[in-house]
Structure 1
Amino acid sequence: MMERAKRTKRDGKQIHLIVVDGKTEKWYLDLYKEKNSLKNFKVDPELCKKRTLKEQFQTIEENLNNYLSIIWVIDFDVILKETCETPKGEKTKISEFREYMELLKKHENVHILINVPCLEYWYLLHIKNTSKYYTCYNDLEKEFKNTILDGYEKTEKFYKQKNKDIYTKLQPFLEKAITNAKQLGDINIYDMEKGKAEIYKLFSILNKK
């Protein structure tokens, strides 16, 4: 058992760990891995389950020395919503997140990639060059009508349709999406009401020689 643990830790140093906060991110990244026959990263959690900010941060802390790099992909719609709903005098979710960012920024192998409002904004950039700010997914979903993502659902069935999975649909427009996302610039954690899709940076991190 001890030998297996040592081997897992040693092997992990050759791959990246991607920590996500939702099942849609996991489905999308697992498809990217499968379609490109990649072995240089793993997605955490292995099972699709929702986790708190603290639980995600703890996962990163616990694995700082176990992987080539750790990439934290996080949607900001829920954080902003819960921040607005926080009773006066209590710590907000955005304050909690800023604290985690401060603690992690000293680690060069940690990359925090924020999507505002959510992963679906990244999908939108495949089919539209926009800088519009949407407060949540519900505001954004109408943009998929009459496009390759018409009928979009946050379900495993939709994501993994045979020969029509979401990665296969979007892949021809990947470079366009990366260009559109780059034009939006980097996140300013003190000015979050701007559309962003920093997940585009993940591809260069994973492909860096």
Structure 2
Amino acid sequence: MRQKRAIAIKARKTFAVVVDGDTEVWYLQMLKRNERSINVNIEPKIPQRKRLSEQFEMILLHFERTSKYFSSCEGAEKQLKKHLKDYKKTQKYYTKQNNDIYLQLKSKLATAINNAKQLGCFNPDTPQSAISEMPLFFEANKLEQLF
């Protein structure tokens, strides 16, 4: 009778990053396009829309620590344009060849991660509070070499 051999299966970490808007999907697509050595599969499944002001806040974290509530998109965009003078919330702007949003923000990635950590974790008692859990993604995937 043949002896059974254990076959080692190499497990791969898998992460689901749930995003609320187009801008996050475009950012992650540009991460994948520019950092070819990492194994990331981007599937643009957006379960619901986030307020536009919340989408701006994700980018603002690359420049400043903020949990400011913006009552309008105009206020958030005005704050962001202090850092990205030519900012436009369009797919063309986010995915520009050789100057996409990831390349524009890459040098600020460590700042964004630190600022996001300072916001803390989700608290069900204050669901309107700003948070970002993207540091978990970057650290778990051992992407520290990017920042």
TM-score normalised by length of structure 2: 0.73
Structure 1, unmatched stretches of 5+, are 1-9, 54-74, 79-116
Aligned to 2:75: 139
- Give the conservation status (yes or no) of the 8 Å contact 1:20–1:44: no
Structure 2, unmatched stretches of 5+, are 1-8
Aligned to 1:81: none
Instruction: Measure the CA separation in 2 of the matches of 1:137 and 1:11.
Output: 46
- Give the conservation status (yes or no) of the 8 Å contact 1:32–1:167: yes
Q: Given the superposition, is the C-alpha separation of residues 21 and 128 from structure 1 closer, same or farther in structure 2, using an over 3 Å criterion?
A: closer
Matched residue SS, 2:17: strand
User: Paired residue for 2:133, among 193, 198, 209?
Assistant: 198
Deviations 1:145-194 (A, max 9, x none): 232x2232221210122322111111111101111111111121221232
Please give the root-mean-square deviation of Cα atoms over the aligned residues, in Å. 2.9
Aligned to 1:61: none
Matched residue SS, 2:42: strand
Aligned to 1:22: 21
Instruction: Measure the CA separation in 1 of the matches of 2:90 and 2:79.
Output: 18
- Give the conservation status (yes or no) of the 8 Å contact 1:17–1:43: no
| Paired residue total | 135
Q: Given the superposition, is the C-alpha separation of residues 163 and 204 from structure 1 closer, same or farther in structure 2, using an over 3 Å criterion?
A: same
Instruction: Measure the CA separation in 2 of the matches of 1:52 and 1:176.
Output: 28
User: Paired residue for 2:105, among 133, 150, 170?
Assistant: 170
Instruction: Measure the CA separation in 1 of the matches of 2:80 and 2:104.
Output: 13
Query: What amino acid is aligned across from residue 131 of structure 1 in structure 2?
Result: S
Query: What amino acid is aligned across from residue 80 of structure 2 in structure 1?
Result: F
Higher strand content, 1 or 2 = 1
Aligned to 1:34: 33
Instruction: Measure the CA separation in 1 of the matches of 2:40 and 2:18.
Output: 11
Aligned to 1:183: 118
- Give the conservation status (yes or no) of the 8 Å contact 2:15–2:137: no
Q: Given the superposition, is the C-alpha separation of residues 138 and 190 from structure 1 closer, same or farther in structure 2, using an over 3 Å criterion?
A: farther
